[in-house]
Amino acid sequence: MDPKHQRAALNDGHSIPVLGLGTYAPDAVPKSEAGEATKIAIDVGYRHIDSSHAYQNEEEVGLAIRSKITDAERNHEIWLMHSFCTTSPLVRTGLEQSLKKLQLDYVDLYLMHYPAAMKPGKELYPKDEQGKIMHDTVDICATWEAMEKCKDAGLAKSIGVSNFNHRQLEMILSKPGLKYKPVCNQVECHLYLNQSKLLDFCKSKDIVLVAYGALGSSRDPKWVDQSYPVLLEDPVICALAKKHKRSPALIALRYQLQRGVVVLAKSFIEKEIKENIQVFEFQLSSEDMKALDGLNKNLRYYPADL
């Protein structure tokens, strides 16, 4: 097998490519750039694309996938992970709407984007008069049951969650009548927030941890405090990059792969997309890993909950 196509086994019998392309971008970035980045990524060997209703670029990402690969090839090649922020009555409707925009019949992995649902409405993140996001009262177990029905209907091959802590995962795992376990938990995870305890918990439950923000976030002022340190400028990371003759981004990505974490590399820059897939071409030593473990600050670039 081409090393670029390494996969991690999921608890439902499917498997997920361990390196994915993240397609989120700040509002100021043209949506077309997500489509162009997806095309470049597929051309150079990426086989895992992360998308979301919340990114508002489903048409562009779907068109890029369809322009590069046939339906028959996609069954064996491209892994599409998609998430939706919604309440249980709208889980299937939301997925069907997304599939229509993506021009696809199914997604490989459908995620519950947050452990809380937004109030239904026209706005993506509906807010009250004080500017706080309004949540719905539907519990996550009811929403999970709706996710299970999407899998049974063939609209998603696998189902998982995002931004869950261990307590919230336990709520689903201990739910009476549970039909399918979450196959993964996608969370913010990088060298300043290495999520070691959550990773150990997920491994103990046969749930794959998927890291977003692995390169330190896009520093979108909508979400990220601009005073926070720039991850890829850290002296320890830069020293290891020099040692291995690799970019700081590759050090951050390789660290996650060697911990058994599936990692999303977010970039719309062609040079960086091509460079990031070189993550399979080198190894970090145990001493390197220990030094990188020591960078953890439990620092979140993104809010823990909305």
Contact 37, 30 (CB under 8 A): no
Mean pLDDT of the chain, nearest integer: 89
User: How far apart (Å, rounded) are the C-alpha atoms in residues 18 and 47?
Assistant: 9
Alpha helix segments (H runs only) across 111-232: 140-152, 166-173, 196-204
53: annotated binding-site residue?
A: no
Domain ranges of the chain: 7-226+260-282
Assign 286 to helix, strand or coil.
Answer: helix
Of 49-63, 75-89, 151-165, where does mean pLDDT reach its minimum? 75-89
Of 69-73, 138-142, 287-291, where does mean pLDDT reach its minimum? 69-73
pTM above 0.85, yes or no: yes
Per-residue confidence (pLDDT) for residue 54, from 0 to 100: 82
Type of residue found at 237: I
Half-sphere exposure of 145 (CA within 13 A, CB side): 11
Per-residue confidence (pLDDT) for residue 123, from 0 to 100: 58
Q: Which residues of 145-158 are buried (b: 16+ CB within 10 A; e: fewer)?
A: bbbbbbbeeebbbb
pLDDT over 60 at 285, yes or no: yes
User: How far apart (Å, rounded) are the C-alpha atoms in residues 104 and 96?
Assistant: 10
Task: Say which residues have a Cβ less than 8 Å from residue 298's Cβ, sequence separation at least 6.
Answer: 192, 193
Per-residue confidence (pLDDT) for residue 12, from 0 to 100: 98
Type of residue found at 254: R
Assign 269 to helix, strand or coil.
Answer: coil
Q: Cα torsion at 269, 274, 280, 285 (round to 10°)?
A: -60
Mean pLDDT of 64-87: 73
What is the fold of 7-226+260-282?
TIM Barrel (3.20.20)
Assign 24 to helix, strand or coil.
Answer: coil
Per-residue confidence (pLDDT) for residue 28, from 0 to 100: 84
Centre a 10 Å sphere on the Cβ of residue 281 and count the other Cβ atoms it contains.
12
Task: Say which residues have a Cβ less than 8 Å from residue 287's Cβ, sequence separation at least 6.
Answer: none
Per-residue confidence (pLDDT) for residue 72, from 0 to 100: 45
Tokens coding 16: 């997920």
Catalytic residue IDs: 55
Tokens coding 27: 């509002």
Helix axes 32-44, 58-68, angle to 10 degrees: 30
CA gyration radius, the chain: 18
C-alpha distances out from residue 199 to 61, 134, 189, 202, 207, Å: 29, 30, 10, 5, 9
pLDDT over 60 at 216, yes or no: yes
pLDDT digits (tens, 9 = 90+) for 241-256: 999 999 999 999 999 9
